[in-house]
Structure 1
Amino acid sequence: MLQQLFSPSVQHTLDLIGIFVFAISGALLAVRKNFDVFGIAVLAEVTALGGGLLRDLIIGAVPPAAFTDLGYFLTPLLAALLVFFLHPQVERIQLGVNVFDAAGLGLFCVAGTVKAYDYGLNLTASAALGLATAVGGGVLRDVLANEVPSLLRWDRDLYAVPAIVGATMIVLCIHYDALNAFTSGFAVITAFVLRLLAMRFHWRAPRAWHRRSTVTEE
């Protein structure tokens, strides 16, 4: 089904773009944490490939694409090299990086959902793996950097919710036999725009009702 939505070359190009941008975010966090060059490369690789690797292992698509396509492995290293030498300049265009990161979120939640369904998972499980594909690398990045994953923090703009929306739109399209290049593209754009709006207006998920927490707010 995934091959029916986009040609292999287009799909591969989109994957590499998403991988590159995710790797940039991982490498930048490594620089902020004062990691050495190896740590920068590791965090770039994990952020870029972690979600897809997790998905492929769960659905049995082995060896995972990250290990069979040299471009998937080398692209995060290129991003790490760029950040290693030019991180002040990259930091100055953080807004642009965030925009491309939002686009990668939309692409990966859709591609992950479709691939999971192609491998025989039901609609709910496919949507869950679509979400994992989009946000899994970021979670692994934060854990390795000894931070509470941004996904779980109330003081971070919505990230998982746009991916959930995109993945849900895809499984609904599958259920109603309406999945095609147009509807999948619309799901990507929806997730992308929701993430941009969340960053622009600082939308955040609600916390527990009548919360009585003693945890210090950051």
Structure 2
Amino acid sequence: MTGAPRNPAPCGKQMLSEQVYAHLWSAIMRGGYAPGDALKPQDLAREQGVSLAVTREALVRLVGEGLADRLPNRGFAVPSFSDHRWQEIAEARRTIEPVVLRMSIERGDIDWEARVRAAHHRLVRAPAYVLEEGEHYSSAWSEAHRAFHRTLLEGCGNLALLETFDRLFTASELARRWSAHRNPDRDAAKEHRRLEEAALARDADTAAAVMVQHLALTAAALTDDSGQAT
């Protein structure tokens, strides 16, 4: 007969940590914390009604995703808005993603092609802005955007590279949400369509070139108060 787990506490702790993580992720992305704001474990633990260990576990996870910084002897904080920081992230993406996209085009099968087409269709259909979410891209569009970029790369079949993409994309997504002004001159829909078309045509050279240009425009927007990142 199978009995109850000898120590159910870890499962409960993990669930609480997930809840705290989700709360902080949402609060940071919504702008509930300004760049550089302290994330004090003791205060957060008290606010959320959880232990200090649970709170620290959630904060460490945020650090791993680039949504928080761990400060020596000073706890945690929301990343500061630093042009240099975001340009480094953008440079890393411009270095890695075109290479992974080439691999994806070379290795991806017909199922990958179908997923790329479906991901692009969802992105086109998602409303970029909704009134209740203000000047930020809508949550639905942001998720469809992330899914499209990740699906383009998934054909590479390399989990380590995809995990690197996940972290870099999340960090740049935070910057995009902080840079919420609209740039009417940028046709992001056209850029995404060109990425889809080149990938499905198995034109690795064009796809890589379009990706570099797409990410370069994003990098410029991260430091341009009159524009926005896409």
TM (norm. structure 1) is: 0.30
Structure with the greater alpha carbon radius of gyration = 2
Structure with the higher helix share, 1 or 2: 1
